[in-house]
């Protein structure tokens, strides 16, 4: 299986729907997908993705965001999102960071998340010119914490989120350290 990152578009509607449904079946949120779970009309979701890539259309407090899927022509294994100018968004600067991601429940623990994140980190450096990224996870999400640390994430701090959610752990990944 040669999974890779790709930009979701209308040619992948059935794969996107299948990915979306996999999270609904497991009663899970699919972080890192630009609110995919809120959309019945996937064409509208794709149109919104395009708007977030164009700074001219961004409202105050929003930042550029680029959505990628990870998989092949038969299945989306996960989705990952990079936000390039988080200084525009107080929420992302504090809690969300540059990157959000999710892997299908049945495919977690197989190394796909790490490969997906590594590919995106290369894009962050090579395509978007970022020198470092902040990546966050909930304190109780041990798998995500291990994933971030496995790609070089250095613990920054823990931020209190709210009484209904877990605290947020923040990590910095120096992208120059990934270059060989």
- Predicted confidence at residue 166, as pLDDT, reads 84
Residue 51's pLDDT is: 94
- State the Cα–Cα distance between residues 129 and 104, nearest whole angstrom: 29
Q: What is the mean pLDDT of each run of 10 residues along the chain (180 residues)?
A: 93 97 91 92 96 90 96 97 94 93 95 97 96 95 96 95 82 83
3 state SS of 137 = strand
Given this model, what pLDDT does residue 1 score? 62
Residue 142 structure tokens: 């041990």
Predicted pLDDT at 30: 84
Q: Name 64's Cβ contacts closer than 8 Å, sequence gap at least 6.
A: 52, 53, 54, 55, 58, 83, 84, 85
């Amino acid at each position: 299986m040669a999974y890779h990152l790709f930009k979701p578009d209308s040619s992948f509607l059935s794969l996107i729907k299948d990915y979306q449904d996999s999270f609904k079946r497991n009663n899970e949120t699919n972080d890192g997908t630009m609110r995919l779970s809120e959309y019945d009309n996937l064409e509208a979701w794709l149109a919104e993705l395009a708007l977030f890539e164009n700074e001219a259309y961004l409202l105050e407090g929003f930042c550029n965001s680029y959505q990628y899927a990870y998989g092949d022509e038969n299945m989306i294994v996960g989705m990952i999102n990079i936000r390039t100018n988080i200084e525009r968004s107080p929420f992302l600067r504090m809690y969300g960071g540059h990157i959000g991601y999710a892997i299908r429940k049945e495919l977690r623990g197989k190394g796909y998340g790490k490969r997906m994140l590594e590919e995106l980190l290369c894009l962050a450096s090579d395509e978007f010119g970022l020198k470092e990224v902040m990546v966050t996870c909930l304190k109780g999400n041990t798998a995500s914490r291990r994933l971030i640390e496995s790609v070089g994430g250095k613990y920054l701090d823990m931020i209190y989120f709210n009484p209904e959610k877990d605290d947020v752990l923040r990590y910095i990944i120096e992208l120059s350290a990934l270059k060989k």
